[in-house]
Structure 1
Amino acid sequence: MTTRVAANGIEIAYESFGSPEGRPLLLIMGLGAQLVHWDEGLCRLLAEQGHHVVRFDNRDVGLSTHFHDQGVPSWGTPPAYVLDDLADDTAGLMDALGWAAAHVVGASMGGMIAQTLAIRHPARVLTLTSIMSTPGPAIAPPTEAAAAVLRATPPADRESVLAQAVRTSSIIGSPGYELDRQQITMKAALAYDRCFDPAGTARQLAAIMASGDRTELLAGVSVPALVLHGEDDPLIPIAGGQATAAAIPGARLVTYPGMGHDLPMALWPQIAAEITKLTTEGA
């Protein structure tokens, strides 16, 4: 069941899995992605391993607050917000959940938010897992084909949105694993029916580009940290993961051959095991 709570002056929509007595685990999703993009199967697997899992919609996606009055960002104009604000939203959600601190997992832009949370609110982060992310947009630029995905004009109708989701996954997904067109289409339909707001995604992208590089600030992060990255990621190439692990003292880097910019179902057991090892044992 989706719940909406007040957090950092906006409303955040979230869902939870597992016992409230479990280790608190907060999942932060990436650019334009909703909480449903943390697959329910992966969430339940993490819950089975002793976590109280919460997945949520960042601002400007899904059922959380949208900044419609800010319009579509244009070159040279200030962004509607930056990653600091998204990190503060996350801390506000933790306040609403009654969590003094949590194990924090972020994927792609979610990894950037998780890194920023650990920098801005270090006492709130028990462990940090950064997946297919980077300390700064210039460190690991996308391939031309992946960059074209980011620049693509959003379709106007539901059927075209679903078709575009499959095309996007065929470009930035995992070449070492079979493309599950049916699952991608179902997930895209679920997200579309919850909320379709391409202008919100554009505002999130503007926030990423305006937030700069976190490398120097990550040197001050002292919590146990794990970096997971696909070796065949065209959107945020592996250099982004390597730079993240190098920037955080003591961080452990785990890479996966054949993995691109997604979370293949076949890797869920390995990914869940790595996260569980971190949340139970530390780095």
Structure 2
Amino acid sequence: MSERTSDADEQLADVGRGITLGYRRSGSGDIPLVLIAGLGQQMHEWPDGLCGLLEGRGYDVIRFDNRDVGKSTHFGFPPPGPLNFLRKRWHPEQYDLSDAAADTVGLLDVLGLSSAHLVGMSMGGMIAQTIAARYPHRVASLTSIMSTTGAPRVGRPALSTWRLMFGRPARNRDEHIASAVRMYRHISSRGYPFDESAVRAAAATTWDRDPHPAAGVGRQLAGILKSGDRTTELGAVAAPTLVLHGDRDPMVNPTGATVTARAIPNARRHTLPGMGHDLPVGVWPTLADLLDTHIRTARSTDAPHH
């Protein structure tokens, strides 16, 4: 069993199958809330300010690095090149979203949690969806933010976004920060001010925790594409589900929310006006309200989870 730290120190958890995840657990509440980050993102991409709002509402907030980023286990095989991505030719060791889902369930085991409320953004939403479909008894509620089902022709990045994603990998910290600013200027929420200093600070932390992250990000992207269309599987999700998406998202087109809400039985969809593919400070109070209402509604209607 892992002890909870009051100061949100980072810890490591052996989640099985040779995988170790770096994680942080914060807040003195008794409602376990697991935040699952997106493609290439580390745990700090869930902003401390948003986590603080959730902690203040009684949540035990758990953030972690997915496999292949940050302080978690990295794989040694090369990521696919652009041609292999197009042909969907994967390395024999290439994992998929179900492996990342199993990692997360392994973290719940280490933390002694029989179930938790899952909130995932982008790729993290896909992982959370997969957990809810395959491990229904472990998921008290599901919130899928700016994500999609893998269905073809929907929820896909704009062509301009693909071009940025396949740009030359950063060779040093300064290049990485500059690249992050370029990407977030492109995908950020048009309805909110662009906070370049926050993007720079997060990118610096990313590089300092895990220099040269491009290969891991490439393997994660391959894991998404290898998983294919998960629409049918999502019909098995039993957890109360909230689907959140901005209306200005060039990374995961808002059609991704439409198909997700359609695939998951009784899912509720909510559009956040002006939000792109990030979590600007101006959206934190609304997001905290939406999550809190959704989770407390799920708890009130499902006695075993309180």
Q: Which residue matches 1:167?
A: 182
TM-score normalised by L of structure 2:
0.89
Correspondent of 2:50 among 15, 35, 42: 42
Correspondent of 2:265 among 249, 261, 276: 249
Match of 2:131, SS? helix
Work out whether 1:26 is the aligned partner of 2:42: no
8 A contact 1:227–1:241 mirrored in 2: yes
Distance 2:157 2:214 in 1: 20
Can you list the C-alpha shifts for 1:231-278, whole angstroms capped at 9, x where unaligned? 010110110011111111111111112110011110101111111111
Residue identity (%): 46
Instruction: Give the unaligned 5+ runs of structure 2.
Output: 1-8, 302-306
Q: Which residue matches 1:146?
A: 161
Correspondent of 1:86 among 77, 100, 103: 100
Which amino acid is the alignment partner of residue 172 of structure 2? D
1:8 CA drift (Å): 2.5
Q: Which residue matches 1:275?
A: 291
Correspondent of 2:26 among 17, 24, 47: 17
Correspondent of 2:227 among 187, 206, 211: 211
Q: Which residue matches 1:121?
A: 135
Q: Which residue matches 1:70?
A: 77
Which amino acid is the alignment partner of residue 11 of structure 1? T
Which amino acid is the alignment partner of residue 178 of structure 2? A
8 A contact 1:34–1:56 mirrored in 2: yes
Distance 2:141 2:252 in 1: 22
1:72 CA drift (Å): 2.3
1:152 CA drift (Å): 1.4
Of 4-13 and 199-208, the range deviating more from structure 2: 4-13
Q: How does 1:187-226 map to 2 (within 5 A)?
A: 187-196=202-211, 197-226=213-242
Work out whether 1:266 is the aligned partner of 2:266: no
Distance 1:82 1:220 in 2: 19
1:73 CA drift (Å): 2.5
Distance 1:113 1:209 in 2: 13
Q: CA 1:51 to 1:185, structure 2 compared with 1: closer, same or farther past 3 Å? A: same
1:142 CA drift (Å): 1.3
Can you list the C-alpha shifts for 1:103-134, whole angstroms capped at 9, x where unaligned? 00000000000000011111100000000000
Which amino acid is the alignment partner of residue 211 of structure 1? S
Number of aligned positions between the proteins = 281
Distance 1:264 1:243 in 2: 25
Q: Which residue matches 1:180?
A: 195
Match of 1:261, SS? coil
Which amino acid is the alignment partner of residue 244 of structure 2? L
Which amino acid is the alignment partner of residue 85 of structure 1? D
8 A contact 2:129–2:234 mirrored in 1: yes
1:77 CA drift (Å): 3.0
8 A contact 1:135–1:240 mirrored in 2: yes
Work out whether 1:5 is the aligned partner of 2:10: no
1:96 CA drift (Å): 0.4
TM-score normalised by L of structure 1:
0.97
Runs (4 or more) in structure 1 with deviation over 3 Å come to none
Which amino acid is the alignment partner of residue 72 of structure 1? P
8 A contact 2:151–2:230 mirrored in 1: no
Match of 1:240, SS? helix
Can you list the C-alpha shifts for 1:15-61, whole angstroms capped at 9, x where unaligned? 01111x42000000000000010111111111111110000000000
Can you list the C-alpha shifts for 1:131-183, whole angstroms capped at 9, x where unaligned? 00001162222111111122112110111111111110111111111111111
8 A contact 2:148–2:257 mirrored in 1: yes
CA RMSD, Structure 1 to Structure 2 (Å): 1.2
Distance 2:138 2:16 in 1: 15
